[in-house]
Structure 1
Amino acid sequence: MNDFDSNSEEKLIESILIVDDQPANLRVLSKMLEGKDYKVKKASDGESAIIAAQSNPPDLILLDILMPNMDGYEVCEKLKSEEKTKDIPVIFISALSDVFDKIKAFEVGGIDYITKPFQEEEVLARITSQLTIQTQRKLLEKEQLLLKKEQENLRKEIRQRKEAEAILYQSRALISSILNASLDGIAALEAVRDPKTGKIEDFRCIVVNPVTAKIFNSQPENLTGKLLFKRFISKIKPELFPAFIRVIETGKALEQDIKYHYKNEQKWFHFIAVKLGDGFSITVRDITVRKKLELKLSKLATIDGLTGIYNRHYFDNTLIQEWQRSLRGNQPLSLILCDVDYFKPYNDIYGHPEGDKCLIKVAQIMDNIVKRSSDFLARYGGEEFAIILPNTNIKGAVNIAEKIRAEILNLKIPHQGSKVSEYITLSLGVASFKPSFESSIEMLIKLADNALYQAKNNGRNQVYFNHDE
């Protein structure tokens, strides 16, 4: 049986394809992953990796960058260009640690980057995180397919209801039985016009079913014949009034999602309003569960699972947006890159759980200091953090960096493995300039990275800055 046979009746085990031209790396990673009950398949070059991925798509690919004939970047681009493999998450593995190599890995479609030599805890944590996101994405896609089918059924119901309008008006008993049996909220409203101008002033409820009445914490008999918009609907979303008028005037259906505070709970509803005589019919469906799932998946895609601050992927997107905004406004843009000093010895002495706690505390201190809504804090990778400071010159950025450095030192987290202090410290590199068409995001990152390097090279536990006026 093939390692990636999706028709297996056995308990589902996630599959990983490892691509590396070094047999030693393949053995290390295979042993590590098989020890955690992953299905593992190996490829030693780009061509065989592409064939393996297309014949039996794995759940995730670990892809080396430096390989003969076809490097990892080219392999990733080919995989992302094919329908069958484009959605497989790719984590790059390489001894290359330069920021530009990492940026290129993300540009060709990679979702994470692991630097050799491997740290087992890091490898497993990153794989677990990406497989979780992949699983949630598949669940969302399934939910969206179901929703699409439901929407098609809903539109079909509306078409059928429009065709039956004449019958519905002649038989109130038939209307009542249909409405009461529906799981969706359904109502029909007629326009109330000014007798002199003919202008629509409100909408009167003609028919309403129990599901709709429940949304307004009422009963059908208390709503039928009443003016509804000014009493109820305006409290949910006032701008719906002119929107409903346009439905009557143009005959074009209105379809929207709306948020509603219902019985101390935030609810989401999807509705479709269709012209009905001199009024409209409306069908309402509770989509709160789907909306909550979307919000949860959105958070997973942007938040670092350990520290609770933004992740590297979201940082890259935000930096592009802030660069473009600063370029348009001719405003300075500052970037701080910082690194926990001697963090590897800290993990070796105190253990990875304590290392995680340390990173969480450092992130919390930074989050408390970076207070402006426009500022952006992210975990850049491992023990590295990054801060984007829009509309901030080098002086302001250095002040923030120095405050962070001092506050981290004041935490007095013991660190026996540090060569600069008995406590945990930070080295920070600061870069700042006004974006122009002659400059680039890469230049800003390089300035900050070089400044961080100087801060470390000069003894650590300090702030070093570069700027281009």
Structure 2
Amino acid sequence: MNSNKTILIVDDSQFNIQILSDILQEKSYKIALAKSGEMALEFVKAQKPDLILLDIMMPDLNGFEVCKSLKNNQKTANIPIIFISGLDKSKDIVKGFQAGAVDYIVKPFQKEVVLARVNTHLKLNETQKKLEKTNNELKKLLDEVKYLSFHDEMTDLYNRRYFENELDRLSNSRQLPITIFVADIDRLKFINDNYGHNKGDQYIKAAADILKRSTRSEDIVARIGGDEFAIILTESGFEAAKIIFDRIRANVIEYNNRNQLVESLEISIGFSIKVKDDENIDNIFQQADEMMYNNKGKNTTLKKYNFSSY
């Protein structure tokens, strides 16, 4: 392991550099040298060492200033820094730790102490990196599980579970008016029976894409059944619903004109609006569902819908 680790020694004293180099080379560490704080910062910009042995008393930037600079940079903040100094006053040691150092070695150097502390902090840093990698992988996995639990695998829309959770959340919401759309693909069974389920899946994906493109980023679009979809619009009444409705119909027409299909894609749509606190959100959904089924298979245009109740 040692042969892969680079240690940067920062000291304006050639005598100290030589002693530390001799000690560390016994364990086959790669050694890099900087005789000033500025040289150290330039080196770290070009190549990140695995650990830094940093002198405190230097003519340009002192060790405390170099350490703070490195710790304030996200790219170098995790490099372990061990201060090396003839200063052994407790206030200087505390100041070193406050600057971000992980340890403190007092001159004159004792080989066993130097090697033990260097080895310890290299191992700790390596372990920390592994833990961070594991945590990131775990977080990514948990995010993926959460995403899959609330999204439909085929269409990437929200699934029925998420939709029903949102209905529960909005049941007592004051984000009125709340509009619920229900949409269903016409004649999908006919397409599946005559052209195969792979072809039917293409229609489901196309419908999902149309509904997603027809709505706003804040709207909830879900696949709640085989060929059934639902949309929730919060703080949106009839005018917003009409706009969404028009977009869906226009996008369906565009899709049919643009593609050579075995059967035209038709989507039946119904919607209902909750305008009062005491209205039951489940009833609103049922009203939207009934409206959709009443127009099922009629290739209904906007003008044929009865909006007189809004």
Asked whether the two chains share a fold, i.e. TM above 0.5, the reply is yes
User: TM-score scaled by structure 2?
Assistant: 0.57
Q: Is the 8 A contact 2:159 2:223 kept in 1?
A: yes
Residue of structure 2 in register with 1:301 after alignment: 149
One-letter amino acid matched to 2:52: E
Residue of structure 2 in register with 1:461 after alignment: 300
Q: Relative to 1, partners in 2 of residues 1:462 and 1:428: Cα closer, same or farther, differing over 3 Å?
A: farther
Partners of 2:181 and 2:234 in 1: CA distance: 11
One-letter amino acid matched to 1:452: M
One-letter amino acid matched to 1:377: V
One-letter amino acid matched to 1:431: S
Residue ranges of structure 2 left out of the alignment (5+ in a row): 1-19, 28-43, 56-62, 78-93, 103-123
| Greater length-normalized contact order (CA 8 Å, ≥ 6 residues apart) | 2
Residue of structure 2 in register with 1:190 after alignment: none
Q: Relative to 1, partners in 2 of residues 1:277 and 1:226: Cα closer, same or farther, differing over 3 Å?
A: closer
Structure whose alpha-carbon radius of gyration is higher? 2
Q: Is the 8 A contact 1:429 1:465 kept in 2?
A: no
Shift of 1:360: 0.8
Residue of structure 2 in register with 1:423 after alignment: 264
The one-character-per-residue Cα deviations of 1:169-216 (angstroms, maximum 9, x if unpaired) are xxxx9xx99xx9xxxxxxxxxxxxxxxxxxxxxxxxxxxxxxxx9xx9
One-letter amino acid matched to 1:397: A
Q: Relative to 1, partners in 2 of residues 1:368 and 1:222: Cα closer, same or farther, differing over 3 Å?
A: farther
Counterparts of residues 40-439 of structure 1 (less than 5 Å): 217-221=48-52, 225-227=63-65, 228=67, 231-233=70-72, 235=74, 279=98, 284=128, 285-286=131-132, 287-325=135-173, 327=174, 329=175, 331-370=176-215, 372-412=216-256, 423-436=264-277, 438-439=278-279
Q: Relative to 1, partners in 2 of residues 1:277 and 1:378: Cα closer, same or farther, differing over 3 Å?
A: same
Partners of 1:462 and 1:347 in 2: CA distance: 25
One-letter amino acid matched to 1:363: A
Q: Relative to 1, partners in 2 of residues 1:222 and 1:453: Cα closer, same or farther, differing over 3 Å?
A: farther
Q: Relative to 1, partners in 2 of residues 1:410 and 1:221: Cα closer, same or farther, differing over 3 Å?
A: same
Partners of 1:234 and 1:406 in 2: CA distance: 52
One-letter amino acid matched to 2:189: K
Partners of 1:219 and 1:410 in 2: CA distance: 59
Q: Relative to 1, partners in 2 of residues 1:449 and 1:291: Cα closer, same or farther, differing over 3 Å?
A: same
- How large is the Cα RMSD of the aligned pairs? 3.7
Partners of 1:376 and 1:442 in 2: CA distance: 16
The sequence identity of aligned pairs, in percent, is: 27
Q: Is the 8 A contact 2:219 2:233 kept in 1?
A: yes
Q: Is the 8 A contact 2:150 2:161 kept in 1?
A: yes
Residue ranges of structure 1 left out of the alignment (5+ in a row): 1-172, 181-212, 239-274, 417-421
SS where residue 381 of structure 1 aligns? coil
Shift of 1:298: 1.4
Q: Relative to 1, partners in 2 of residues 1:429 and 1:231: Cα closer, same or farther, differing over 3 Å?
A: same
Shift of 1:233: 4.3
Partners of 1:460 and 1:449 in 2: CA distance: 16
User: TM-score scaled by structure 1?
Assistant: 0.39
Shift of 1:226: 4.8
Q: Relative to 1, partners in 2 of residues 1:410 and 1:291: Cα closer, same or farther, differing over 3 Å?
A: same
Q: Relative to 1, partners in 2 of residues 1:340 and 1:218: Cα closer, same or farther, differing over 3 Å?
A: same
Shift of 1:398: 2.3
Paired positions, count: 211
One-letter amino acid matched to 1:221: I
Q: Which has the higher strand share?
A: 1
The one-character-per-residue Cα deviations of 1:1-60 (angstroms, maximum 9, x if unpaired) are xxxxxxxxxxxxxxxxxxxxxxxxxxxxxxxxxxxxxxxxxxxxxxxxxxxxxxxxxxxx
Q: Is the 8 A contact 1:394 1:467 kept in 2?
A: no
Residue of structure 1 in register with 2:9 after alignment: none
Q: Relative to 1, partners in 2 of residues 1:277 and 1:397: Cα closer, same or farther, differing over 3 Å?
A: same
Q: Is the 8 A contact 1:429 1:449 kept in 2?
A: yes
Partners of 2:71 and 2:240 in 1: CA distance: 50
> Which is further off, 302-311 or 459-468?
459-468
Q: Is the 8 A contact 1:405 1:462 kept in 2?
A: yes
SS where residue 334 of structure 1 aligns? strand
Partners of 2:68 and 2:306 in 1: CA distance: 59
